[in-house]
Amino acid sequence: MSLRAFLNAVILGASLFSSLAMANELKGIRVWPAPEETRVVLDLKDEAVFSYFTLTKPDRLVVDLKQTSLKTKLPVVVKDSAILTKIRNSGAPEKGTYRLVLEMKAGMTPNLFTLAPTPDGHYSHRLVLDLPHGKAALVKKPEPTSKPSVANQQAILPYGSDDIIVAIDPGHGGEDPGSIGPSRLYEKNVTLDISKKVASRINATPGMKAVMTRQGDYFVNLNRRTDLARKERAHLLVSIHADGFHQPQPRGASVWVLNTRRANNEIGRWLEQHEKQSELLGGGDVLSGGSDDQYLSMAVLDLQFSHSQKEGYDVASRVLKEMSKVTTLHKSRPEHASLAVLKSPDIPSLLVETGFITNPTEERLLNSKSHQNKLADAVYRGVLSYFNEKPPEGTLFASRNQGVKHKVASGQSLSVLANRYGTSVAAIKQANNLKSNTLKVGQVLVIPGKAPVTASATTAAVATTTKTVTHTVKRGDFLGKIASQYGVTVASIRRDNNLRSDELAVGQKLRVSTTVPITAPETVARATTTKTVTHTVKRGEFLGKIANQYGVTVASIRRDNTLRTDELAVGQQLKISVKAPASVVHTVQRGDFLGKIATRYGVTVSRLREANQLRSDKLAVGQKLTIPSS
């Protein structure tokens, strides 16, 4: 071989080697702003070989892609991100390296990782850049919730007006499209639409509140979804998905609950693998988390036998029953799979597969607003059924279904409590199996049926007329509370409004027929004395609970203590102005006798004689009698 031929061969080989070395291509750049971080995805022909560093003044993130050429447009201007403003190129540090510069609004600690191509070929190799909206990417570990001391059970009364919190989790999102239908309908869009409809129904229900793990088209790490639910103190987590399979035939809705063993059928196994792809999109596998993650450790070791798993199955069964009324079911019972979003040991969780988006018929249904409404109604009814039957303690649902508990204070009698809560002495005695009217200070009584009212009803017989008013249902209202507010019965509200159930919607108009006095004869005069007591705030107490204990209003406690907020601290001293009933004066009417009067006021005949120093049982019309406390 001549020297010229040899040199030509060397040059050709070097050129070929250089072209092979530059084989990778940057084909696209996608940006997904989210509330807590912004995700940037670089689409590449082959797996990325990269390095990165940050700069300040101004803040920038610099990414060097080794042996990569550009096949997309730059710069990329970002408008909706809280951290990122622009992505541009810059001078390469060495030949064959392509340098990207991300201009930031503030300093942060990025998280970069690679993703392999998806099995369906929808995405090729990717380099993911997660940019947190803060100085560091450290995630604060959730603090363990300590149980309140139960040394004094009477101090922990279940009366409350708390909302039931339901976390709604729209599956997938952003970089993760989920399953894709034959006509390119993305699961992530369907799940968001249905989730918003479920949330709106929950928020329209007095005593319930929905929180969403995502509000738009962005990805939320699977561990973060349960963290968000826990942060909001959710009583239930419902994850909404649309199923997918590698063949178009499977169809029907299903509901999944956690099983730490592998799923027991082929679709379940495929679903787990599909979920793994979403786990990897978050930069790690939640099943292999470190020992520092106390929640996952507990889930793996004990969740199979935990309370949350049992309750999750209960809710799942109810949701599945409701869904059977509006769509085809894939399985008639809840299925088990080891899915990351279900792995919360302290929150009952279920995953609702609304249908197979890979089935052409069901894809069309899932894209239909009317069918989405039916599915949302079914999920809502199943959840509502569960909480109607098993309301969490301290919530408005629990107060409505179970009545309230009252701790007897000094000077309180059965008749006083009956008037205050809009019930009867007989009903309180029956609910508590009381054989006499004698009460002890500190005794805890179950008050049936209604929430407390601040104004005591008068026991006087007065002439009245009927007036119809319109009540607009507000958040926290229920029939018993509204009835107490207007001094009427629940039955009368049901009758006046032709109600077939006790479920109300915020903004609903109700006709309420109330009785108003025409005259105010002084047949009964209630004498009261006011005294100020000091209350020391205990763990678990709030203004409503303290007001309930002393028979006063929240407004009076605020006024007496010049409170600007309802937040209380354990050990805080509060002044309480208590009105103690001294006596009731009854004016004898025609037909009255001691036995009748004693029964009316819940006292004994002997107490009436003693209080009025009566030597006989003969009474005169117009005679004044002092009614003692029972």
SS3 156: coil
In degrees rounded to 5, what are phi and psi of residue 280? Answer: -65, -30
The contacts of residue 371 (CB under 8 Å, 6+ apart) are: 326, 327, 365
Q: What is the pLDDT of residue 458?
A: 33
425 CA to centre of own chain:
37
For 282-346, give the DSSP string.
Answer: TTS-GGG--TT-HHHHHHHHHGGGSHHHHHHHHHHHHHHHHHTTTS-BS-SS-EEE--GGG--SS
pLDDT mean for each 10 residues of the chain (630 residues)? 58 50 82 89 91 91 91 90 92 88 92 84 86 60 39 38 89 88 93 95 89 91 84 91 89 83 46 55 46 41 55 91 93 78 71 93 94 95 91 77 73 78 76 85 75 33 63 80 74 82 83 63 48 83 77 80 80 81 76 81 80 85 80
CA distance 76 to 74: 5
Q: Are residues 561 and 552 in contact, defined by beta-carbon separation less than 8 angstroms?
A: no
Q: How many residues does the chain have?
A: 630
SS3 427: helix
Supply the angle between the helices 294-302 and 222-231 in degrees, to the nearest 10: 100
The amino acid occupying position 482 is: I
Q: Are residues 248 and 182 in contact, defined by beta-carbon separation less than 8 angstroms?
A: yes
CA distance 196 to 173: 14
Q: What is the pLDDT of residue 465?
A: 57
Q: What is the pLDDT of residue 160?
A: 59
The amino acid occupying position 603 is: V
Q: What is the pLDDT of residue 213?
A: 93
Burial of 273-282, coded b for 16+ CB within 10 Å and e otherwise, reads: ebbebbbbbb
SS3 558: helix
Q: Tokens 């992530």 belong to which residue?
A: 188
> Residue 542, by phi and psi: left (phi above 0), alpha (psi -120 to 50) or beta?
beta
The domains of the chain, with CATH numbers, are 22-132 (2.60.40.3500), 158-389 (3.40.630.40), 405-457 (3.10.350), 588-630 (3.10.350.10)
Burial of 580-597, coded b for 16+ CB within 10 Å and e otherwise, reads: bbeebebbbeeebebeeb
CA distance 598 to 604: 5
Rg (CA), the chain: 34
Burial (CB count within 10 angstroms: exposed 0-12, middle 13-18, buried 19+), residue 577: middle
Q: Are residues 27 and 41 in contact, defined by beta-carbon separation less than 8 angstroms?
A: no
In this structure, how many other beta carbons lie within 10 angstroms of the beta carbon of residue 64?
18
Q: Are residues 41 and 100 in contact, defined by beta-carbon separation less than 8 angstroms?
A: no
CA distance 390 to 163: 14
Q: Are residues 82 and 115 in contact, defined by beta-carbon separation less than 8 angstroms?
A: no
Q: In this structure, are strands 335-337 and 254-258 parallel, antiparallel, or unpaired?
A: parallel
The contacts of residue 555 (CB under 8 Å, 6+ apart) are: none
Q: What is the pLDDT of residue 198?
A: 96
CA distance 628 to 630: 6
Helix (H) or strand (E) holding 495: helix 490-497
Q: What is the pLDDT of residue 307?
A: 63
Find, among 222, 266, 260, the residue nearest to 241 by Cα: 222
Burial of 358-379, coded b for 16+ CB within 10 Å and e otherwise, reads: bbeebbebbbeeebbebbbbbb
CA distance 340 to 286: 7
In this structure, how many other beta carbons lie within 10 angstroms of the beta carbon of residue 523?
15
* Composition of the chain by helix, strand, coil, percent to 5: 30, 25, 40
Alpha helices by DSSP H, 337-458: 360-366, 369-389, 396-402, 414-421, 425-432
Burial of 128-159, coded b for 16+ CB within 10 Å and e otherwise, reads: bbbbbbeeeeeeeeeeeeeeeeeeeeebbbbb
Q: What is the pLDDT of residue 461?
A: 38
